[in-house]
Amino acid sequence: MSNFTTYKTWFRVSIINRVLGFIAAALNTFFACLPVDTASTFGGWMARRVGPKLRVTKNARRELNIVFPDLKNEEIELIIIQMWDNLGRTAAEHPHLAKFNPYQKNGRVKIEGAEYIDQLKEDNKPGIFFSGHLANWELVPLASTKRGLPLHLIYRKANNLFFDRLVQKGRLDTGGKYFPKGPAGSKGILRVLNSGDHLAMLIDQKMNDGISVPFMGRNAMTAPALGQLARKYDCPVVPVQVSRIKGAYFKITVHPPIKIEITDNKNLDIHNFMTNINSIVADWIKENPEQWLWVHNRWPNVQETLLK
């Protein structure tokens, strides 16, 4: 490829990213000006109409057929529409994150299991929270930070720099401190745990160079970091489940901490632990399948002949 062709490609991508970033910023500003309920409802309405027409919806349809082979096509399509509704609402709620305090009386978020956060505050040890891309997953850190327990989070930078900046700006309202995935982020994570502080991560997406672990009835490449850190620091791992109850109202369930079983076989310990973690997340997904991010290509190697 010539330098000129490379430049043309870079220029085209740069322009597209700027345009998409401008659109995202405009929508974010628009939603920020609306009341929370109105923004959430309108965001869901927009996504229900646009989302099913996007190419990534094919991934969602494929994934749903893999996990729920007995569902009828119309049932699959209904979940897809509801999934897009949830994603649209989540995007529209982003500029309003400061209004979702789980400990506010008669607020938008009910919380169960806050006593487990208190335990982590008092044990003087590092700890790790985990969740998945369910409901509005941006609410996860609020369970901890609004309880007085500082939290550091790992996130994947968006390919679009303008969009990434917009998302990170909204996340300031959660009170969490964010580390991007990569070498610099890894060093930050180790500093956090070595200092006895607390970390949170979303663990339900595919990692090509991860480990093969059962997930929703099939093996899936899974990031082993949670198991590796749990074993290295022998620290409690706390499942945090977010559920959308109705509209812009939620329930956060902080489940009892779990510990990794440590033996002489490090790889087996991590594999068994991540199998348990994947099972927990799978149960959450089955409770509310329309609230999970099905567009992610979680099982790329499943043969098409196995699908309907």
The residues with which 178 forms a beta bridge, in sequence order, are 153
- Return the minimum-mean-pLDDT range out of 16-25, 95-104, 207-216, 240-249: 16-25
β strands within the chain, DSSP E? 109-112, 127-131, 152-155, 177-180, 198-202, 206-215, 218-222, 237-246, 249-254
- Confirm whether 305 is domain-assigned: no
* Cα atoms in the 13 Å half-sphere on the side-chain side of 177: 12
- Reported as a pLDDT band with limits 50, 70 and 90, residue 305 is very low
Check pLDDT > 60 for residue 251.
yes
pLDDT of residue 11: 52
The residue that leads in pLDDT, 110 or 303, is 110
In a domain, 301, yes or no: no
In this structure, are residues 177 and 151 in contact, taking their beta carbons and an 8 Å threshold?
A: yes
pLDDT, one tens digit per residue, over 269-302 is 999 999 999 999 999 999 999 999 999 889 987 7
Q: Which structural domain, as residue segments, surrounds residue 87?
A: 3-94
- Residue 265: the pLDDT is 98
What is the rounded CA–CA span in Å between residue 227 and residue 15? 41
Q: Rounded to an integer, what distance in angstroms lies between the CA atom of residue 242 and that of residue 134?
A: 6
In a domain, 304, yes or no: no
Give me the sheet containing 237-246, strands edge to edge: 109-112, 249-254, 237-246, 127-131, 198-202, 152-155, 177-180
Has residue 178 got a pLDDT over 70? yes
The pLDDT assigned to 297 comes to 87
Q: Are residues 44 and 171 in the same domain?
A: no
pLDDT digits (tens, 9 = 90+) for 142-165: 999 999 999 999 888 888 888 788
**Domain count for the chain:** 2
Residue 232: its pLDDT value, please?
Answer: 97
Q: Each residue of 93-113: b (16+ CB within 10 Å) or e?
A: bbbbbeebbbeeeeebbebeb
Token couple for 303: 């043969």
Measure the CA–CA gap between 150 and 199, rounded to whole angstroms.
9
Sorting pLDDT into bands at 50, 70 and 90, what band is 43? very high
Q: Which amino acid is at 194?
A: N
Q: Do residue 79 and residue 154 come from a single domain? A: no
Q: Is residue 308 part of a domain?
A: no
Provide the pLDDT for residue 304.
44
Look at residue 129 and tell me if it is in a domain. yes
Taking 60 as the threshold, does the pLDDT of residue 1 lie above it? no
Contact yes or no for 249/99 (Cβ under 8 A): no
Is the same domain home to 255 and 114?
yes
Q: What is the mean pLDDT of residues 165-188?
A: 86
User: Is 32 domain-assigned?
Assistant: yes
Pick the last residue of a domain from 45, 70, 94: 94
Contacts of 289 (CB under 8 A, 6+ apart): 64, 67, 68, 79
CB 267 within 8 A of CB 275: no
- Sorted by sequence, the CB contacts under 8 Å of residue 65 that are 6+ apart come out as 71, 76, 307, 308
Q: Is residue 300 part of a domain?
A: no
Percent of the chain with pLDDT strictly greater than 70: 94
Q: Which whole number is the average pLDDT over 31-37?
A: 97
The pLDDT value given to residue 307: 44
Residues 212 and 63 reside in one and the same domain: no
pLDDT for 9: 56
| Whether residue 220 sits in one domain with residue 87 | no
For the cut 50, the answer to whether the pLDDT of residue 91 exceeds it is yes
Which pair of structure tokens corresponds to residue 153?
Answer: 């989070």
Nearest Cα residue to 155 out of 168, 174, 170: 168
State phi, psi for 18 to the nearest 5 degrees.
-65, -40
Give the residue among 82, 156, 89, 147 at the shortest CA–CA distance from 121.
147
pLDDT at 26: 93
Report the mean per-residue pLDDT for the chain.
Answer: 92
What confidence tens digit (pLDDT) does each residue in 253-268 have? 999 999 999 999 999 9
180 and 139: one domain?
yes
* pLDDT tens per residue, range 117-138: 999 999 989 999 999 999 999 9
